Structure 1
Amino acid sequence: MRRHAITVPLLPPSVRIARISTAEALTSFGVAPGSSLADAALLVVSELVSNAVRHAAGHSPDAEVTVTVAAGHLVIGVGDQDPHVMDLASGATGEGLRTVAELAAAYDGDVSVEPAARGRGKTVLVRFQLPGAQ
């Protein structure tokens, strides 16, 4: 298992910081820069951090962005301290989360929301199956 984590303040410039950090992690994990998987993962990070900036900044000073590669999967996580947990099954998500779900599905993956491990808040997890992994 390989894991990378970065904590960013919930401010608009953090979207770019999270993308750069994620791109570096992906490259170090063997995901080719500019590949469709890398591009999908970077778009997911952009959408999730943007959502956190837009919706969670009043409840959370920062977000933790994680990139994990294990057991044939790439998992992107964005966690914040906002107690509001969106219901992905209701279909009432915004365009950004629908795009994230479509990108995950294109790689036989999924999107889930889990309560934060340390109490208040939640983490949005996006799983991609790595090409060639079955």
Structure 2
Amino acid sequence: MGGHPFRPPWRRGRSAAVIEHVPSPVRRHIVSVPVGPEAVRRARVAVAGRFGEVGVVPGSAFADAVLLVVSELVVNVLRHASRSPVADVGITVGAGQLVISVADAEPHLPSLEPDAMGAGLQLVAELAAEYDGYVSAEPAIDHDGKVVLVRFRMPS
């Protein structure tokens, strides 16, 4: 082969100064929590156990808000998706955002209109808004169910 070292296609002919900064990698952790009396506690413990890896300071106001959101979303699974054997609880961090996701086997999407939300989901929306975030819900991709997502901007 020639004397030129391999250069990825995005670098060929460009100086390093014109290459855009690559965002930090996305870190994602999911735990399946059996739906039942211990579901909320197990979900909170699993999410709190990942705080160090994803840059959340344990015991901070932000950590407390995230854990309260986890609690409320898992309680909603217990109340509204009783046919779900498990709730898949995820914590994802990347691009300055933290996303909590809770998936269940109930395909009915919750109403996210302020007048139609229950007290728990309203609290979740308020907590997300405190950190420039929001709540969304979508059909699950890999099963007949849904995923509720809560996005937060990571505090500096």
Regions of 4+ moved over 2 Å: none
Instruction: Give me the CA root mean square deviation.
Output: 1.0
1:8 maps to 2:33: yes
TM-score normalised by structure 1 residue count? 0.94
| Cα distance between partner residues in 2 of 1:27 and 1:35 | 12
Matches within 5 A, 1:58-73: 59-73=83-97
Partner of 1:54: 79
Q: Per-residue deviation at 1:29?
A: 1.4
**Which residue identity lines up with residue 81 of structure 1 in the other structure?**
A
Relative to structure 2, which stretch is displaced further, 66-75 or 4-13? Answer: 4-13
Shift of 1:90: 5.5
**2:121 is the alignment partner of 1:92:** no
CA displacement, residues 9-55 of structure 1 (integer Å, 9 cap, x when unaligned): 11121100000010011122121101111100000000000110111
C-alpha separation between the residues in 1 aligned to 2:42 and 2:52? 16
Shift of 1:83: 1.6
Higher strand share: 1
Q: Do the aligned partners of 2:96 and 2:153 also contact (CA within 8 Å) in 1?
A: yes
**Rounded Cα–Cα distance in structure 2 between residues aligned with 1:116 and 1:91:** 25
Which segments of 5 or more consecutive residues in structure 2 lack a partner in the other structure? 1-25
Count of equivalent residues: 131
2:137 counterpart residue number: 113
Q: How does 1:20-39 map to 2 (within 5 A)?
A: 20-39=45-64
Equivalent residue letter for 1:16: R
* Paired AA for residue 44 in structure 2: R
**Is 1:81 aligned with 2:100?**
no
- Structure 1 or 2: larger helix share? 1
CA distance in structure 1 between the aligned counterparts of 2:143 and 2:47, rounded to whole angstroms: 25
Scaled by the length of structure 2, the TM-score of the pair is 0.81
**In structure 1, the residue corresponding to 2:84 is in which secondary structure?**
coil
| Greater Rg by CA | 2
Instruction: Choose 89-98 or 35-44, whichever is displaced more.
Output: 89-98
2:114–2:122 Cα contact (<8 Å) kept: no
| 8 Å contact kept, 1:112–1:126 | yes
